[in-house]
A and B are shown apart, each in its own frame.
Chain A
């Protein structure tokens, strides 16, 4: 029983990171109907920027993270600006464009930081919390808290602010939104920017949990994408549920199927998608693709 809960706890923190990655995917998807395939690589850039300011410039962890958020937010804006002429013209080219950006970002990271990668030391030195024989890493709690705060902030932004409402409107019907005077391009830019900042948040939190290297975006991107698919394309609650599910699922299949865990995780994922192709919170109205 103790192992059961310990496994659950272990899966949750990585699940929270997947949820943040999935939220970034979802936000762009719901606004533009586009899967940003560079998203995983933006996560990686975020992890590198945060770890550079944390380890090399020796800033505290939180400011380092905020700088990473700003840097990747800007990268998101650039990607959107470059792809904007294709919006509503050639969707396939836009998709390929995001893949291209992903490759460029990975190559850039190799140029700047080298191919080897680096380990990031744990920013929270406090001893693990003991609870009913379970040991919960303090850093896991930080990850969960930051992810929860980011989710609340995002939902508030989407529901309570004018800009957020405009983005929702674009998501529902971009032609009608244009007709009532909403700048669709700007709305898309904001979606891309926030999505990329969420990626940086995921990346900088993942740094001390994992190992920062130019290829880390691949694994995180695929898990985040799977999380979005399982939760429902474009759904924010879906991204959270999906992310945590993929994290916990991975953790349990690692416990039971050991060497075959990845296989089992994605088999379960495939079955889930076959049973419910729209995902848990699938919003078909958002589907513009």
Chain B
């Protein structure tokens, strides 16, 4: 009896091991073969503090792919989209880059975090897999990878527009800065500092926080003592929200100014709608009403996901459309040829007219908006 049970257990264990071994290696199909669906990978954070970004990105990419599939795909082939969770972690990202390669995906959408994209870029470059990212750190184009493209402007563009508005238009010279030391925050810091230096403005104080920090009273006390007109904020959505919330608690009433993260609902919700009011935002996608194309996109997005569209979904939608257009133009080329095709794609997107330069940046313009009642509106 005992023996039988042991045997059964052993058999069960063996079958489980077999199943476990079988799981990772599934799907070894090769899409270079010219038949079957065209395989695109979406790599983005689906868990962790940055997962709201990843969720928006995925929705934008899904919407674009489903529209193309409805129109019959490319060359009679359907497009398949598979999502990988990078958890916002560069180490996980590099592993996923190898997976994307070994499982035969021909292009990758994502990620939304510059740090992860930077970590993945060398592997993808070696594997010759074009990658269109939503990150905005200037360090990415500086890599000079011919396979890396950005679906939006870099921090240089965001912060030059912002500095131009704050200093030149509004005449604000007393500026304090708080940025985090991650890839995104560092990019924002350097870009905004360069834009200020160009205008002969020196920030009153330049505070750096970590990406994991939760208590900002030291940095905020120094900012409060410096009495600035405006505070430049370079951190991701949730951290930016926490900083603004704590700043208001400490009695700092001056407005904050920043780039993409400060335009999102997550930022406004974390900070509290009232606290976030008045935040000045440099963004390439002001609102869902800014153009007929944006209105159409927003309606389709809402119908598909029962949720209001915002910048990151729009960026991923543009990025995915660019890749798909390039695939169509090149008759489903792969590798270096596909990268060339992406570079040659001129695309009128939600963010503006894309025309890629040799560093992989396709758009060089943002607008200034302001948060009112938790929503981003064009500045009057």
The chain B residue with its CB closest to the CB of A120 is: B270
Contact in complex: A115, B46 (CB < 8 Å): yes
Contact in complex: A3, B221 (CB < 8 Å): yes
Q: B210 in the interface, Cβ–Cβ < 8 Å? A: yes
Query: When chains A and B are docked, how far (Å) is the Cα of A118 from the Cα of B237?
Result: 12
Interface extent on B, as a size class? Answer: 35 or more
Q: A135 in the interface, Cβ–Cβ < 8 Å? A: yes
Contact in complex: B217, A259 (CB < 8 Å): no
Contacts of B47 in A (CB 8 A): 110, 115, 214-215
Interface hits, A193-218 → B, CB 8 Å: 209-211, 213-215
Q: A63 in the interface, Cβ–Cβ < 8 Å? A: no
Q: Among B47, B48, B55, B212, which residue has the most Cβ atoms of chain A within 10 A?
A: B47
Q: B42 in the interface, Cβ–Cβ < 8 Å? A: no
Q: When the two chains form the complex, which single residue of A11, A115, A262 contacts B217, counting CB atoms closer than 8 Å?
A: A11
The binding surface of chain A is classed by DSSP as helix
Minimum CB–CB distance from B1 to chain A (whole Å) comes to 23
Q: A137 in the interface, Cβ–Cβ < 8 Å? A: yes
Contacts of A250 in B (CB 8 A): 215
Q: A6 in the interface, Cβ–Cβ < 8 Å? A: yes
Interface hits, B204-223 → A, CB 8 Å: 207-210, 212-219, 221-222
Contact in complex: A251, B249 (CB < 8 Å): no
Contact in complex: B181, A219 (CB < 8 Å): no
Q: When the two chains form the complex, which single residue of A13, A135, A211, A258 contacts B242, counting CB atoms closer than 8 Å?
A: A211
Query: When chains A and B are docked, how far (Å) is the Cα of A41 from the Cα of B100?
Result: 32
Q: A119 in the interface, Cβ–Cβ < 8 Å? A: yes
Query: When chains A and B are docked, how far (Å) is the Cα of A262 from the Cα of B213?
Result: 8
0/1 interface trace, chain A 115-128, chain B, CB 8 Å (1 if under): 11111011000001
0/1 interface trace, chain B 145-182, chain A, CB 8 Å (1 if under): 00000000000000000000000000000000000110
Q: When the two chains form the complex, which single residue of B181, B222, B242, B272 contacts A259, counting CB atoms closer than 8 Å?
A: B181
Q: B261 in the interface, Cβ–Cβ < 8 Å? A: no
Q: A20 in the interface, Cβ–Cβ < 8 Å? A: no
Q: When the two chains form the complex, which single residue of A10, A110, A119 contacts B269, counting CB atoms closer than 8 Å?
A: A119
0/1 interface trace, chain B 223-237, chain A, CB 8 Å (1 if under): 001000000000000
Q: A255 in the interface, Cβ–Cβ < 8 Å? A: yes
Q: A287 in the interface, Cβ–Cβ < 8 Å? A: no
Contact in complex: A137, B215 (CB < 8 Å): no
The chain A residue with its CB closest to the CB of B273 is: A121
Contact in complex: A258, B212 (CB < 8 Å): no
Given known contacts A3-B218, A7-B221, A254-B218, A115 and B51 CB-to-CB distance under 8 angstroms: yes
Q: Among B47, B210, B218, which residue has the most Cβ atoms of chain A within 10 A?
A: B218
Q: B49 in the interface, Cβ–Cβ < 8 Å? A: yes
The chain B residue with its CB closest to the CB of A219 is: B212
The chain A residue with its CB closest to the CB of B51 is: A115
Minimum CB–CB distance from B354 to chain A (whole Å) comes to 29
Contact in complex: B251, A10 (CB < 8 Å): no
Contacts of B94 in A (CB 8 A): none
The chain A residue with its CB closest to the CB of B238 is: A211
Query: When chains A and B are docked, how far (Å) is the Cα of A215 from the Cα of B269?
Result: 19
Contacts of B218 in A (CB 8 A): 3, 6-7, 10, 251-252, 254-256
The chain B residue with its CB closest to the CB of A137 is: B249
Interface hits, A228-277 → B, CB 8 Å: 247, 250-252, 254-256, 258-259, 261-262
A contact set with B: CB distance below 8 Å: 2-3, 6-7, 9-11, 13-14, 110, 115-119, 121-122, 128, 130, 135, 137, 139, 209-211, 213-215, 219, 247, 250-252, 254-256, 258-259, 261-262
21 of the cross-chain contacts (CB-CB < 8 Å) are A2-B225, A3-B222, A6-B217, A13-B215, A115-B48, A116-B52, A117-B49, A117-B51, A117-B238, A121-B272, A135-B250, A137-B249, A213-B48, A213-B49, A251-B217, A254-B210, A254-B218, A258-B181, A258-B210, A259-B180, A262-B212
Q: 5 other contacts beyond A119-B272, A251-B217, A254-B218, with CB at 8 A cut-off?
A: A2-B221, A7-B217, A117-B51, A255-B221, A261-B210
Sorted from nearest, which 10 A-B pairs have the closest CB atoms? A10-B217, A255-B218, A259-B181, A115-B47, A6-B221, A258-B208, A119-B270, A7-B218, A259-B208, A115-B51
